[in-house]
């Protein structure tokens, strides 16, 4: 074994002291050398021969140095576990505020379903209801319809379109029936009405006298006298046929005189028979100057024929 010189050991100790920061021993006394770093031989130790490792060189006293302890391996620090993934929270949906009127509409009670068909059939029911309440329209071919056309063409200019009067007397509001009543005792109002339209003011005064209409008439300006209103009533004996004259008389009594339904229906049958009697006799126009009594006699004949027909229907 080769012995390491002392001065080399000393230099090595000083070098180790410089590296470790511990002062080397002075000349005044021996100081134990600090422990050599791992892998370095201890002071006085003999470096192992080349090719040998892990065996310390023998010291100066012939003793073999203890083998150097193996360097401690660094502690293995486990890697921190990855943090658990936090699930993403869904975005919070902010509801828009609801207007008060919308809330009220949503909370309002709805119409029951059964009301819908009722409302659908309500107009149909109303049509039927009104149809039963109103008087059926005049027959376009009947006396009432024809009388309305004649009145509008001939009479409305003096008596007014609604019979309210003008240069001629008022007929509406029942006035015409006060002068020519349907049920006066001792006076045939229907015959007097026809004779008045046929003759007019002048001829009526010549045939009947100054009073025309019902002598027992009550109310303002009663009884009626020829010329009391100022305007002169013309005659229509030539301008109107029997049918046209009868139709306009019937129209005035129903539309302006407000004749009740039962009487209006009876007078309609009588006047239609009156027209038929004159047609059978070949009379196209009633003669100027015909008296109330003569017209009444023809109407009585028509009334008798109507009554006989009604009795026959009743007998069945």
**pLDDT tens digits for range 274-315:** 999 999 999 999 999 999 999 999 999 999 999 999 898 888
Mean pLDDT, range 155-172, rounded to an integer: 92
Of residues 258 and 220, the one with the higher pLDDT is 258
pTM here? Answer: 0.57
* pLDDT (0 to 100) of residue 54: 46
Least confident range from 7-16, 164-173, 201-210: namely 7-16
* pLDDT more than 90, % of the chain: 46
Which residue, among 12, 13, 56, 58, has the nearest Cα to 32 in the 3D structure?
13
The fraction of the chain above a pLDDT of 70, given in percent, is 74
Domains in the chain: ranges and CATH: 103-133 (no CATH), 143-315 (1.10.760)
Mean pLDDT of 13-26: 68
Q: Which residue has the higher pLDDT, 1 or 87?
A: 87
Instruction: Pick the range with the lowest mean pLDDT from 49-58, 98-107, 233-242, 270-279.
Output: 49-58
Q: Residues of 189-223 as b/e, b for ≥16 C-beta within 10 angstroms?
A: bbbbbbbbbbbbbebbbebbeeebbbeebeeeeeb
DSSP string, 15-71: HHHHHHT-PPP-TTS--PPPPPPTTSPPTTPPPPPTT--S-PPB-TTSPBPPPPPPP
The better pLDDT of the pair 139, 260 is held by 260
Average pLDDT for the chain: 81
Residue 239 has pLDDT above 90, yes or no: yes
DSSP string of 114-164, one letter each residue: THHHHHHHHHHHHHHHHHHHSPPPPPTTSHHHHHHHHIIIIIHHHH-TTS-
Q: What is the mean pLDDT of residues 150-171?
A: 92
**30-88 confidence digits (pLDDT tens):** 544 455 555 555 555 555 554 444 444 444 444 555 555 555 566 666 767 676 677 77
**Cβ atoms 143, 247 nearer than 8 A:** yes
């Amino acid at each position: 074994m080769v012995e390491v010189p002392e001065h080399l050991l000393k230099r090595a100790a000083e070098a180790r002291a410089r590296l470790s920061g511990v002062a080397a021993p002075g000349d005044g006394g021996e100081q134990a050398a600090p422990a050599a770093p791992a892998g370095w031989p201890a002071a006085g130790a003999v470096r192992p021969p080349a090719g040998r490792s892990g065996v310390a060189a023998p010291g100066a006293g012939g003793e073999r140095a203890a083998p150097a302890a193996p360097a401690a391996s660094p502690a293995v620090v486990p890697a921190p576990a990855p943090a658990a993934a936090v699930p993403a929270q869904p975005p919070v949906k902010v509801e828009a505020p609801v207007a008060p009127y919308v809330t009220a509409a949503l909370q309002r009670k709805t119409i029951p379903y059964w009301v819908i068909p009722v409302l659908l059939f309500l107009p149909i029911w109303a049509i039927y209801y009104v149809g039963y309440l109103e008087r059926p329209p005049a027959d376009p071919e009947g006396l009432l319809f024809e009388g309305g056309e004649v009145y509008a063409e001939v009479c409305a200019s003096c008596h007014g379109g609604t019979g309210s009067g003008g240069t001629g007397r008022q007929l509406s509001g029942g006035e015409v029936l006060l002068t020519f009543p349907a049920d006066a005792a001792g006076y045939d109002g229907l015959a007097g009405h026809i004779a008045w339209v046929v003759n007019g003011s002048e001829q009526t005064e010549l045939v009947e006298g100054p009073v025309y209409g019902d002598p027992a008439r009550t109310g303002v300006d009663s009884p009626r006298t020829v010329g009391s209103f100022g305007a002169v009533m013309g005659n229509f004996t030539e301008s109107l046929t029997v049918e046209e004259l009868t139709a306009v008389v019937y129209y005035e009594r129903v539309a302006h005189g407000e004749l009740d339904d039962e009487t209006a229906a009876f007078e309609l049958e009588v006047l239609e028979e009156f027209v038929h009697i004159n047609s059978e006799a070949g009379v196209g126009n009633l003669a100027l100057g015909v008296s109330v009594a003569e017209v009444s006699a023809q109407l009585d004949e028509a009334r008798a024929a109507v009554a006989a027909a009604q009795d026959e229907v009743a007998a069945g």
